[in-house]
């Protein structure tokens, strides 16, 4: 099975940092924040890298974008990404409470 490279957009990297900061502050526990972000990163770097078409297409948001939920602390995070046949490009990582329409 082929492993495709995964690239995180600068925006998705910033979102992950913001999620980590929120979780660490809310839980008063950086280990919890680490585990949530690690879960999202592992999903992207391991599962999406091998199965990039596993997510649901969300063309009504943006043509070609895919979505896959990753659950953990305080609910699910949604990974929004593109796959061009050669590379997985993670565009956004959003908490389920965030307004997707405002981001896109």
Q: State how many domains the chain has.
A: 1
For residue 73, the enclosing domain spans 6-103
pLDDT tens-place values along the chain, 104 residues long:
899 999 999 999 999 999 999 999 999 999 999 999 999 999 999 999 999 999 999 999 999 999 999 976 656 899 999 999 999 999 999 999 898 888 88
For residue 38, being part of any structural domain is answered with yes
The CATH number of whichever domain residue 61 belongs to comes to 3.30.2310.20
pLDDT of res. 81: 98
For residue 10, being part of any structural domain is answered with yes
Please give the DSSP secondary-structure letter assigned to residue 93: E
Q: Which residues contact 68 (CB under 8 A, 6 or more apart)?
A: 43, 48, 54, 55, 56, 78, 79, 81
For residue 91, being part of any structural domain is answered with yes
pLDDT of res. 53: 95
pLDDT of res. 78: 94
For residue 1, being part of any structural domain is answered with no
């Amino acid at each position: 099975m082929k492993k495709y490279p995964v690239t995180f957009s600068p925006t998705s990297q910033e979102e992950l940092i913001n999620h980590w900061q929120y979780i660490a502050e809310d839980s008063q526990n950086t280990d919890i924040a680490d585990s949530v972000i690690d879960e999202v990163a592992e999903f992207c770097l391991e599962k999406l890298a091998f199965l990039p078409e596993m997510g649901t297409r969300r063309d009504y948001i943006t043509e070609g974008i895919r979505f896959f939920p990753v659950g953990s602390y305080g609910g699910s995070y949604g990974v929004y990404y593109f796959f061009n046949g050669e590379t997985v490009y993670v565009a956004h990582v959003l908490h389920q409470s965030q307004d997707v329409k405002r981001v896109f």
